[in-house]
Every structure is written in structure tokens, then in C-alpha cells.
Amino acid sequence: MQITSPAFKQNARHALDDAQLQKALGNVRGGFIDKRQKAVDALPEFDALRDSARDIKNHTLENLDLYLEAYEKQVTAAGGHVHWAETAADARRIVLDICRMTNARTVTKGKSMITEEIELNDFLEAAGIQPIETDLGEYIIQLRGEHPSHIIAPAVHVNKEQVEADFRRVHNHLAPDRDLTEPETLLDEARRILRAKYFEADVGITGANFLVAETGSSIIVTNEGNGDLTQLLPRVHVVLASIEKIVPTLNDASQILRVLARSATGQDMSVYTTLSTGPKRNGDPDGPEQYHVILLDNGRSSMLGTEFQEMLRCIRCGACMNHCPVYHAIGGHAYGWVYPGPMGAVLTPALIGIDKGGHLPNASTFCGRCEAVCPMKIPLPKMMRHWREKEFERGLNPATQRYGLGIWAWFARRPWAYNLATSLGIPVLGMLGGRNRRFSWLPLAGGWTRHRDLPAPDSRTFRQQWRERDAIKQGALS
Amino acid sequence: MSPRDAIMTNIRGALAAGGSDEARRKAVEARLSRPPKGVIPARGQLDDEARVELFCEMARRVTASVVRVRSHDRVPKAVSEYLRAKNLPSSIRIGDDRRLKSMPWDKFGSLEVRRGPSDGFDETGVSHALAGIAETGTVALASGKDNPTTINFLPEHHIVVVDAKDISGDLESVMGRVRKKFGKGEMPRTLNLITGPSRSGDIEQKIILGAHGPRAVHVIVVG
């Protein structure tokens, strides 16, 4: 997909003006937050489990090489194949090789952000292989020629009327009087169409929520069951996962599963948690004949040992974006690449470069809700700040911002100059504010005043008021 | 350098600061051979009867239906009652599970019992679970000829039989059970943990049952 993160500001502008999108985003602000809170309140151990989950991932990352080795050994012992891919292009090539080896014509896909990251669908289509998304949301956006706008609710930006129009456009067998006005009837239609596709497909591709070193299992967590049919019915199952998906043991996976579904959808447990280990065994009446895992690095190993290592704990639950006022306002597409919201604001610059993703960590007021709800306790605001520092170090932000920060820094290091400037400036501004005590325009403050008035300051500076407050306190004490 | 070596070299380079290799190796081996249990919610840590009751309650909360019967002999009757109540054809699909096979299905003369994996044309499938998880109302099913995985996903209705004695309080205990049954580090091809019927919230975040898997899950607890 084309990276539009450098145009974040224009993207955000369009998103704010898009009435359809704004209506759809109401569904994010509503459901997710309450459901999560209810599930969290019902589990007294939730916070202790977050600590446990964080510690498990920290331990895993510190020993990532060893756990990857152990995992590989177990997959191979179970009759599966492990492939290693340094880059997106390597991973795509491996998928294509597997498809060619099995003469695949169609491929069904479970929901997977990693296949979005490596742009697998376009690549397969260009190679003459038809990829079919089977998650309802993914299926809808595939029909629309779009990309997910949310990591667990990919079509959250779409309204049901739009889905009906898309189905009528593509499913041309539909009678005009067939009722497709409600989510129920739309789902029935998708279920019928996709059922046939599962049986036709030669290869099924899924992502993985976890890879378990103890057993060589890949785990997927879904509600629809599409990921299961995708890996159960075709002859070949391909798992595409990035290297940080490893957890040591089944118990470790269990600990993290407890915080995953609650944080994502407010369920205690998703409907289907499926552990897959190797191809079908002797005597098994169903299941794939081949089981492949592609372990993708694509920039992860370069995050290890840096201030962004903690981002590798992310389990892609979506809680950070569900609670983000910026995401609520602009949706996921404005972020301009695969991963939106606060986790995207940290991960995107790491994967595509701060030169392209620099706007994202700046699109935050550091309100801290993302960190407060993150089941893995990832310090997202802190890492966004690290990106801002990197951006500044590399001189990537605009000249006005750099000069502004330079002037600020000069004053901040010289309290006498700061005092002088503010005690002269504030009363003047206070006077200029006039009777309304507000500015609708100020030089160099257009970014603020275009959307709202700036209140005129009180006639005294903050420091003056603070000193007075201290003096009163002292007086009261004595 | 192979891609594997390149990735490993990168990882090891980045981790170089963190402790000796020997100490790391020991810590990893220890965790893999004796997996720590972690934080176990008090919710499921109950006596036998209360645990089974919690399982039933949690399964109902995720819109599964649940009945309890005294013994395996009574399962066919419970199945046939379910089929009648839902107005379903008198036909089920089952695998080779010994417990399921030995049930007196022929007492219900009109009930057709088809054996083997599902071909996608079964209205109702019946599986025997390996275990139940009380904290979430989840059933655990292992793949294989006894309970083919297609039965878990293709029929419109999935009836799951679980023995009360196999219901654990928490997920970790079931993982322990799996280790014991299949051997440490060994797994069935697929282990399905199923919590209620299939659903989707992908259109306007409205939850609808019956996305791609069964529209209804009916749990029969034995004992």
C-alpha cells in the first residue's frame, strides 16, 4: 500500500470533513471502551495479569534468539517447515514459492496485519493467484479496494449502507428485492459466499497471535471461525508471523490470552483460540497436508536493544486506538500506513522511517490513556517523545518549529530573561485582549486561532501568581 | 549468510549487553522444562460442584446452551431433545470417539448417526471435549479421528459433550492436562478452545451470531 503518512495533516483534515467516516467512528467511541471496562472490572486479578504479561514478554525478548531456536526445533519435530524472512520482499517470495509448489490458484486468508504490512494481496494477484480475505471486515474492505482502518475491526470506518452497496456491486447474483439492510442479512450473504471459497482454496494463510516455543504451536484468536476454516480445509497451511510473537510456554500464552480478549473486545475469551502444531498426523481425517511458518523480521530485530524495544511487547489488541482521542477524531486511514493509533505512532516510524512517519508521534496530546489501558503496559507516550527527539536531532521538523524551540530553549535556560520577557509580555497581551478577554487572531498562533479563540492572559504571570500563593500559605502558617 | 543466521546475528548483537549466554540458556531451559504457572484468577478455584456450576454459568453467558446429564447413557436423549427443540433434522455427525461411539444412539431409532469428518453438509455435529475451563465457559477439543476438527466448524449446530470431572478451574490447568495426555512438548495437530458460538461485530460493531462457524453451541455436561 502506498505510504501516505507524510501527508498526515491533509489526511486528518479530510477525515474530519468526511461525514460518513465521522458517523462510523461513533461506533469506536461507544462500544469498545465500555465493554473493556466491564470485563476488566469483573476480574480482580487483571492488573496483576498485566504485570505478568509484561514480564513474560520482557523475558522473551531478552532471550529471543534462544526461544526462536527452541520454537523452530519443535515445529520441525512436528513435521512443519520454518522459513526465515529478513524483509517483506523475502516473505512474499517464500509465500509465492509455496503457492507455486502446490499449484495454488486461490488462497484463503485469515485476518492478519502482517500480510498487510508485506502487501501480500497485491503481490499474489500480480502473480496470478487469487487471495480471498475471509474475515467479514477484511472481506468488505477487500471488495472496496481499501485497507484496514483498525487492527481488530478493519471495516470500522464503513457503514452498513456502504456494505450493502458493495455486495450488490460484486455479488451480481443477488435479486434486487433481497433484503440486505441489516448486519444480520449482510453477514448471511458473506457466510454463504465464503463457505464455498474455503473448499476451493489450495492454500490457507493465517497470521499468529502467539508462537509457543515449548510446543512449536502457532495460536490464532478469532471470533468468526474464518481463521479456522482457512487453515483446516486447504491442503497447505501457511502461518506468517513476525519474530516477536514468540512466547516461551503454553502457560505464558494463557496468561497473555487473559488480557488480550478483555482489552480488545471486552470478552473474557475470544470464541476461537486455536493452537496449531504441524500438518495432519497419521490417521487424521482432516487438516492440511503441509504446515509452513514464515518468521518475518522486517525491522523488529533493529528495535531490540533500543529505546523502542518495549514496543515489541505489543499483542495488537487495539485498546490504545479504542481509547485515543486522536484516533476517535480521524480514524485509522489518516495515519497513512498499516498500523494506526498510538501503537502505530510508535511502530510506524520504526518500520518505515521517522522521515516518513514523523507526523504520527506528534499527533498526540500525551493524555496517557493509551498507556493506561495497554495490557502489556507499553509506555507509548514516552516512546512517542523519543521519536520527537529523534526527529529534532535529525533536523526533520519544519524550520519555524525548530526556531521556536530554539528561542524557547534560550529563555528556559536563562530564568532572568524568561522573567523579564513574561512580566513585560503578559500584561501587554492582557491589555490587547480587550473587553472580550480573547483573541480570534494572533501572529504566529494561526494553528490555534483558526479553530478557536485564545483566552487573553491574566495580567500577572504564572510565576508571579505562584509566589503570591506561596506568600499567602506562609502567612497562614505563621 | 542465510536469512536465519542474519536475523539471529542481529538479535544477538542487539542483546549482547544483557548477561552471559550461559545464564540466559539456563533460564530459558528452566522455563521450558518447568513452565511457571503465573497469576491464576480466583474465580475458577472452587470445589468440584461449584466449579461445574461456574462452567455452565459462564458458557451460558457467551450464549451457549447447557444441560447436565447423569451419565454417558443419557447423552443420546439429550441430543435428540435438542434436535427436536430446534426443529432440526434427526441426523448427527460424530467421529470415532470411544465414549461417543458406545452411547446408545439406537434407542432413538429415527436418529441417523453419520461417522467421520464433516463434509460441510451436516446440520448438527457432536464432539467429545478433552476438557472444560470453568473461568470462561470454554471447551477444549483435540483434533484427530476421534473428534475431527471439521465437526467443530462446519455444521450449523455444534453439540459438545464434556465430562464434569474434566472441567478445570483455569486455562493453565487444561494446558497441564494436554501435556499429560500428549506428552511434554507434544501436541495434537490442533487444539481448539471454543467459547460460545461463532460471531462477528465487523459491521457497525453489532454482534451477530453465526459468522463462519456454528450458529449455536450446545454443551452437555456429563456427571
Rounded percentage of chain A residues whose pLDDT exceeds 70 = 100
Predicted pLDDT of residue A445: 81
* Chain B nearest C-alpha distance from A13 (Å): 23
Distance from CA of A377 to the nearest CA of B (A): 16
Instruction: Give the pLDDT confidence of B135-166 residue by residue, as tens digits.
Output: 999 999 999 999 999 999 999 999 999 999 99
pLDDT confidence of residue B108: 80
Are β-strands B190-194 and A438-439 bridged in parallel, bridged antiparallel, or unpaired? unpaired
- Comparing CB atoms, the residue among A154, A214, A267 nearest residue B32 is A214
Q: Do A63 and B28 touch (CB under 8 A)?
A: yes
Is B40 domain-assigned?
no
Please report, as a single letter, which amino acid is at residue A381: P
pLDDT of amino acid A464: 86
Least confident piece of the model among A42-56, A72-86, A391-405:
A391-405
Which of B9, B25, B204, B208 should be substituted to probe chain A, the one whose Cβ sees the most A Cβ atoms within 10 Å? B204
Tell me, yes or no, if A78 comes closer than 8 A to chain B by beta carbon: yes
pLDDT at A478: 67
Instruction: Count chain A–chain B contacts defined by CB atoms under 8 A.
Output: 277
Among chain B residues, the shortest Cα distance to A44 is held by B41
Distance to chain A for B30, nearest Cα, Å: 11
Q: How confident is the model at residue B18 (pLDDT cuts 50, 70, 90)?
A: low
Do B180 and B104 fall within a single domain? yes
pLDDT of residue B138: 98
With a threshold of 0.95, tell me whether the complex ipTM lies above it: yes
The answer, for A357 touching chain B at a CB cutoff of 8 Å, is: no
B4, B36, B199 ranked by CB distance to A84: nearest: B4
Q: Looking at beta carbons, which residues of chain A come within 8 Å of B37? A: 251
The grid coordinates listed for B206 are 453489532
> Looking at the structure, do residues B4 and B93 belong to the same domain, yes or no?
no
Task: State which H helix or E strand residue A446 sits in.
Answer: helix A446-449
Place of cell 503454553: A250
CB spacing of B28 vs A85 below 8 angstroms = no
- Total domains in the fold of chain B: 2
Please indicate, yes or no, whether residues B3 and B55 belong to a single structural domain of this protein: no
pLDDT of residue A230: 97
Q: Do B52 and B19 belong to one domain?
A: no
Give me the count of residues in chain A: 478
Mean residue pLDDT across chain B: 96
**B81 and B19 belong to one structural domain:** no
Cβ distance A263 to A320 under 8 Å?
Answer: no
Determine contact, residues A240/A91, Cβ cutoff 8 Å: yes
Average pLDDT score over chain A: 94
Residues A243/A301, Cβ–Cβ less than 8 Å: yes
Asked, for residue B73, whether it belongs to a domain, the answer is yes
Q: Nearest CA of chain A to the CA of B86: how many Å?
A: 19
* Mean pLDDT on A413-435: 88
Contact check, Cβ <8 Å, B14/A305: yes
**B39 domain-assigned:** no
Chain B CB contacts of A215 under 8 Å are: 185-187
The share of chain A scoring above pLDDT 90, in percent, equals 81
- Of the pLDDT bands very low, low, confident and very high (cuts 50, 70, 90), residue A401 is confident
- For the segment A145-154, the average pLDDT, to the nearest whole number, is 95
Provide CB contacts within 8 A for A94, sequence distance 6+: A83, A85, A294
Segment A220-238 mean pLDDT: 97
At a CB cut-off of 8 Å and minimum separation 6, what does A444 contact? none
* Closest CA in chain A for residue B154: A229
User: Could you tell me if B117 and B163 lie in one domain?
Assistant: yes
For A445-462, the pLDDT digits (tens) are 888 888 888 888 877 888
User: Which chain A residues contact residue B24 at CB under 8 A?
Assistant: 62-63, 66
Same domain as B114, residue B161: yes
Helices A46-62 and B21-33: angle between axes, nearest 10 degrees: 130
State mean pLDDT over B32-54. 97
List CB contacts (< 8 A) between A248 and chain B: 28, 31-32, 35
> Measured between CA atoms, how close is B207 to chain A, in angstroms?
9
The A residues from 172 to 231 touching B (CB cutoff 8 Å) are 183-184, 186-187, 191, 194-195, 199, 213-217, 223-226, 228-229
Claim to verify: residue B207 and residue B174 sit in the same structural domain? yes
Residue B32 banded pLDDT, cuts 50, 70, 90: very high
Give the pLDDT score at A448. Answer: 82
Nearest CA distance, A29 vs chain B (angstrom): 11
Contact (CB, 8 A) for A261 and A316: no
- Quickly state the pLDDT bin for B19 (edges 50, 70, 90): low
- Residues paired with residue A204 on neighbouring β-strands, in sequence order: A108, A237
The answer to whether residue B106 is domain-embedded is yes
Q: What is the pLDDT of residue B147?
A: 98
Q: Are residues B29 and B89 in the same domain?
A: no
Write out chain A residues lying below 8 Å of B26, CB-based: none
Question: Would the CB atoms of A229 and B213 count as touching at under 8 Å?
Answer: yes
Alpha helices by DSSP H, A28-135 = 33-41, 46-62, 64-77, 88-101, 113-117, 120-126
Question: Are residues A131 and A107 in contact, defined by beta-carbon separation less than 8 angstroms?
Answer: yes
Among the ranges given (A85-99, A264-278, A410-424, B62-76), the one the predictor scored with the smallest mean pLDDT: A410-424
pLDDT digits (tens, 9 = 90+) for A316-353: 999 999 999 999 999 999 999 999 999 999 999 999 99
CB within 8 Å: B3 and A90 = yes
Interface test with A, best of B21, B212, B219 (most A CBs within 10 A): B212
Q: Give residue-wise pLDDT tens across range B182-217.
A: 999 999 999 999 999 999 999 988 899 999 999 999
pLDDT in tens, A155-200: 999 999 999 999 999 998 888 889 999 999 999 999 999 999 999 9
The pLDDT of B57-66, averaged and rounded, is 98
Q: Is A392 helix (H, G, I), strand (E, B) or coil?
A: helix
CB pair distance less than 8 Å for B188 and A281? yes
| Chain A residue with minimum CA distance to B116 | A285
Chain B neighbors of A267, CB-CB under 8 A: 62, 195
Render B163-214 in DSSP notation, one character per residue.
EGGGEESSHHHHHHHHHHHH-TT---SEEEEE-SS-EE-TTTT--EE-SSS-
Q: What is the mean pLDDT of residues A215-227?
A: 97
CATH number at residue B62: 3.40.50.10420
What are the residues whose beta carbons fall under 8 Å from the beta carbon of A232, sequence distance 6 or more?
A204, A286, A287, A288, B149, B150, B153, B190
Residue A89: its pLDDT value, please?
A: 98
Facing B208 at nearest CB: one of A187, A257, A283: A187
| B81-112 per-position pLDDT tens digit | 999 999 999 999 999 999 999 999 998 878 99
Residue-number span of the structural domain to which B50 is assigned: 45-222
Separation of alpha carbons A108 and B15, rounded Å: 37
Q: Calculate how close chain B gets to A373, using CA atoms only, in Å.
A: 19
Q: Does the beta-carbon distance from A134 to B212 stay under 8 Å?
A: yes
Q: Do B73 and B158 sit in the same domain of this protein? A: yes
In a domain, B75, yes or no: yes
The verdict on residue B154 lying in a domain is yes
Domains recognised in chain A with CATH numbers: 43-298 (3.40.50.10420), 404-477 (no CATH)
CB-based contact A272 B200, cutoff 8 Å? no
* pLDDT value of residue B70: 97
> Phi and psi (nearest 5°) for A62?
-70, -15
| Chain B CB contacts of A52 below 8 Å | 38-39
Chain B residue closest to A189 (CA)? B211
Q: How many angstroms separate the CA atoms of B14 and B12, rounded?
A: 5
Q: Is the pLDDT of residue B78 over 90?
A: yes
A56, A183, A257: residue with CB nearest B208? A183
Residues B4 and B101 in one domain: no
Q: Chain B contacts of A154, Cβ < 8 Å?
A: 202
Tell me if A287 sits within 8 A of A279, measured CB to CB: yes
Same domain, yes or no: B189 and B90: yes
**Residue A437: per-residue pLDDT:** 85
